[in-house]
A and B are shown apart, each in its own frame.
Chain A
Amino acid sequence: MTGKNFEIINHTADVGIIAYGSDMRQLFSNAALALFSLITDHGSIIEKIRRDVQIISKDSDSLLVEWLNELIYLFDTEGVLFSRFDIKNLSNNKLIATCWGESFNPLKHKIRIEVKAATYHMLKINKDDSQYSVQIIFDV
């Protein structure tokens, strides 16, 4: 275990993250946290709004990409920034989660990067003895 939840990686045109987790639920939750840390300082987001999310897809890679794209969609259409993700149910093709956050406030939330989509590029969920990890490249 590295002890890290996620890290930011460099990609010429876009940005990427590597998320870690002791199990798949934690991996999905940390990937979402990494996404919002790209957008703003996730520490500045308080838990005021709740959104329930359900995703059905064909495999866990797609599920992860669609989960992140759903959160980007909620931010783009409803202006909600999230900082806590409670993954209630996760199988190979279904995810049910409750997400907590607040509305984007330009006076309070300093925007770092406008993330527009999670991509499948070089996406692979890895597992070693102690943990799961995944690299995700975002379109910005």
Chain B
Amino acid sequence: MPQWQGQLIKIDDYRWEIPRSYKQGMRVPGLIYADEAMLKSIQEEQTLEQVANVAFLPGIVKSSFAMPDIHWGYGFPIGGVAAMSVKDGVVSPGGVGYDINCGVRLLRTNLSEAEVRPKINQLLNELFASIPSGLGSERKTKVSRKDMNELMIEGAKWSVGHGFGTEDDLDVTEEGGCMEGADPSKVSDRAIKRGMPQIGTLGSGNHFIEIQVVKEIFNHHIANIMGINELGQVLVLIHTGSRGFGHQICTDHLRVMGEAVLKYGIKLPDRQLACTPIESKEGKDYLAAMACAANYAWCNRQYIAHWVRETFSKVFGRHYTELGMQQIYDVAHNIAKIEEHVVDGRKLKVCVHRKGATRAFPPNHKDVPQKYKEVGQPVLIPGDMGRCSFIATGTQRAMEESFGSTCHGAGRVMSRGAAMRSLKGKDIAQELQSRGIIIKTGSISSLAEEASQAYKDITEVIDVVHQAGISRKIAMAVPIGVIKG
């Protein structure tokens, strides 16, 4: 693939701009968070062209943002943030992605590495048995059509109401686990048919459940508020989304957007950027259906968190409340939200698209739960299965600069195919085991795709967002056991 040769202006060590003059049709500049070395690697692909293309979208304000974990997607880059004015801007399903509200949820425990290591195999086997994962995974107890209609509106509240988790979990979930405006009448029968059997399943690809150990604490005060108290403490990170349900909603609405682009005379550099005015019928319908998928995903993570707790109870012979398995937080990585932000000194209602990006609201923001008011919203940033994950918080600078957004993960540097070829014959599971990480997966081939070599080093990604001031790193944890879908 050719190198990206476009113009870049250095703002400071962690900020780079693609000026509007780079391409006729850009309404705003592009803003990339990266250090010099990282930028070189980003330029090896056409990712920055996609950042420039997003700047074409009607109503986009400030900049088309690229987080340091940015990588080449289809239409929108992955690791991108774009905010459009509600009054005259567009919403784009491609700016959310297919896996609507793919996200992560982090649970704490009172357990130490010394207590968990000897039982890690048993724990992983039990988790693997109790949580359906892998391709086309279906849960054993199915939800009815009526249940489906309710959970599309209520999200994680629905699962909690049915005995899966506690009210406390909802307090520490983005949107309280329930996005307003969900309208099941805007969801196709096909999406329902695809989604119904898959609720309460992990799925495949990069989705996982990780048993982690806290390795470093950068800010003890804030870590303590989160319930992260000491090195060696065990955490559990769950990464999954809206399964086939979100995919079908995205597919259905992209079809509608294809027509809307013609109807509203929107000119686009890539068809996958298809969009429609936020205030149009097509726009409102998409946001109402997207909220159903977002709620489905929160409901999904709520189920899985419950089964994780039950499994720990079984393996350690103590109730999960005794094991201190409170939820630290749950964040969405792929979502569009109507939020109020200050742009050019004025309050403005915008639709913030976060595709492979995390909300990172500052201390005292009205949407940050009481527990974290003083310190800001927790941000959960998983790395690849061989390295580590970070816990950070949102900042005022993120609020002022990037619509309260930060990075979401490591970001791929190697295609799945290239990873499979270069790692052919290598026993990834064996290699990880020798480093104290046990993997359980239904698909050996997907293991190579997700190997460390296929990703950027998460530590470098976090350093950029921390140094740039759009989040603040609090703690780091390493995996000791992984369930991969």
Could you tell me how many residues of chain A have their Cβ less than 8 Å away from some Cβ of chain B? 35
CB of B416, distance to nearest CB on chain A (Å): 6
Is the CB of A122 closer than 8 A to any CB of chain B? Answer: yes
Do A112 and B445 contact each other (CB < 8 Å), given the known contacts A14-B416, A73-B194, A119-B75?
Answer: yes
Contacts of B247 in A (CB 8 A): 116-117, 139
Q: A62-B258, A73-B248 are in contact. Are A114 and B204 (CB under 8 A)?
A: yes
Kindly provide the distance from the CB of B249 to the nearest chain A CB, expressed in whole angstroms. Answer: 11
Q: Which of A15, A69, A140 contacts B251 (CB 8 A)?
A: A69
A55 to B413, CA, bound (A): 37
A126 located at the interface, meaning its Cβ lies under 8 Å from any Cβ of chain B in the complex: no
Q: Which of A5-13, A24-32, A43-51, A84-92 contacts B (4 or more CB under 8 A)?
A: A5-13
Complex-state Cα separation, A110 to B270, whole angstroms: 35
Closest to A76 in B: B244
Cross-chain pair count, CB within 8 angstroms: 103
Report B41-71 residues with CB < 8 Å from chain A CB.
45, 71
Most buried by A among B71, B203, B251, B272: B251
- Chain B 246-272 interface mask (CB, 8 Å, partner A; 1/0): 011011001100110000000000111
Query: A1 contacts the other chain (Cβ, under 8 Å)?
Result: no
Distance of A127 from chain B, by nearest CB (Å): 19
How far apart are the CA atoms of A139 and B417 in the complex, in Å? 14
Q: What separation, in Å, do the CA atoms of A9 and B203 have in the docked complex? A: 24
A111 nearest CB across to chain B (Å) = 5
> Contact between B75 and A58 (Cβ–Cβ < 8 Å)?
no
**B residues in contact with A122, CB < 8 Å:** 74, 270, 272
Alpha-carbon distance between A114 and B154 when the two chains are bound, in angstroms: 29
Residue from B135, B204, B254, B274 whose CB has the most chain A CB atoms within 10 Å: B135
Distance from B310 Cβ to chain A, minimum over Cβ atoms (Å): 25
Q: Which residues of A contact B205 (CB under 8 A)?
A: 113-114, 140
Interface contact B258-A12, CB-CB below 8 Å: no
* Complex partner residue of A120 from B73, B254, B449, CB under 8 angstroms: B254
Which residues of chain B are near A69, meaning CB under 8 Å? Answer: 251
Are A13 and B412 within 8 A (Cβ)? yes
Contact A15 B416 (CB under 8 A): yes
- Expressed in whole angstroms, the Cα–Cα distance for A112 and B442 within the complex equals 11
In the bound complex, residues from chain A placing their C-beta under 8 Å from that of B417 are 8-10, 15
A122 to B134, CA, bound (A): 29
The digit string for A83-126, where 1 denotes a CB below 8 A from any CB of B, is: 00000000000000000000010000011111011011111000
Is A137 an interface residue, CB under 8 A from the partner? yes
CB closest chain-A residue, reference B444: A110
Say yes or no: B244 contacts A120, CB within 8 Å. no
What sequence of 0s and 1s flags, for each residue 59-101 of chain B, a beta carbon within 8 Å of any chain A beta carbon?
0000000000001111100100000000000000000011100
42-89 of chain A: CB within 8 A of chain B? 57-58, 61-62, 66, 69, 73, 75-77, 79
Q: Are B258 and A58 in contact (CB under 8 A)?
A: yes
| A138 → chain B closest CB, angstroms | 9
CB pair A116 B244 closer than 8 Å: yes
Measured in the bound complex, the distance between the Cα atoms of B417 and A77 in whole Å is: 27
Question: Do B415 and A10 touch across chains, with their CB atoms under 8 A apart?
Answer: yes
Most buried by B among A61, A75, A113, A137: A113
Contact A117 to B251, CB < 8 A, known contacts A8-B417, A12-B72, A12-B413: yes
Whether B418 sits at the interface, judged by CB under 8 Å, is yes
B220 on the A face (CB < 8 A) = no
Set of chain B residues within 8 Å of A14, measured between Cβ atoms: 73-74, 416
Chain B: minimal CB distance from A69 (Å): 5
CB pair B74–A121 under 8 Å, yes or no, is: yes
- For A111, the chain B residues whose CB sits under 8 A away are 134-135, 204, 443, 445
Does B136 belong to the interface (CB within 8 Å)?
yes
Asked if A114 contacts B135 (CB within 8 A), the reply is yes
What is the CA–CA distance of A10 and B416 in the complex, to the nearest angstrom? Answer: 7
Contact B416–A62 (Cβ < 8 Å): no
* Given A73-B248, A112-B445, A119-B272, A140 and B75 contact (CB-CB distance below 8 Å): no
Closest Cβ of chain B to A118, distance in Å, is 8
Contact B194 A117 (CB under 8 A): no
B110 adjacent to chain A (CB < 8 Å):
no
Residues of A close to B371: CB separation below 8 A: none
Within 8 A of A (CB), among B298-315: none
Beta-carbon nearest neighbor of B137 in chain A? A114
B193 A77 Cβ-Cβ under 8 A? yes
* B446 proximal to A (CB < 8 A): yes
**B38 interface residue, CB < 8 Å from A?**
no
Residues of A near any B CB (own CB < 8 A): 8-15, 57-58, 61-62, 66, 69, 73, 75-77, 79, 104, 110-114, 116-117, 119-123, 137, 139-140
Extra inter-chain contacts (18) besides given A113-B446, A120-B74, A122-B270, CB under 8 Å = A10-B415, A11-B74, A12-B45, A13-B78, A14-B73, A62-B258, A66-B255, A77-B194, A104-B136, A113-B205, A113-B445, A114-B135, A117-B250, A120-B258, A121-B73, A121-B272, A122-B272, A139-B98
| 22 contacts across the A-B interface (CB closer than 8 A) | A10-B415, A10-B416, A11-B415, A12-B72, A14-B73, A14-B416, A58-B258, A62-B258, A69-B251, A77-B190, A77-B194, A77-B244, A111-B443, A116-B99, A120-B74, A121-B75, A121-B271, A122-B272, A137-B74, A139-B98, A139-B99, A140-B205
Among all A-B residue pairs, the 7 with the closest Cβ atoms: A121-B74, A10-B415, A121-B272, A120-B271, A114-B204, A119-B74, A114-B135
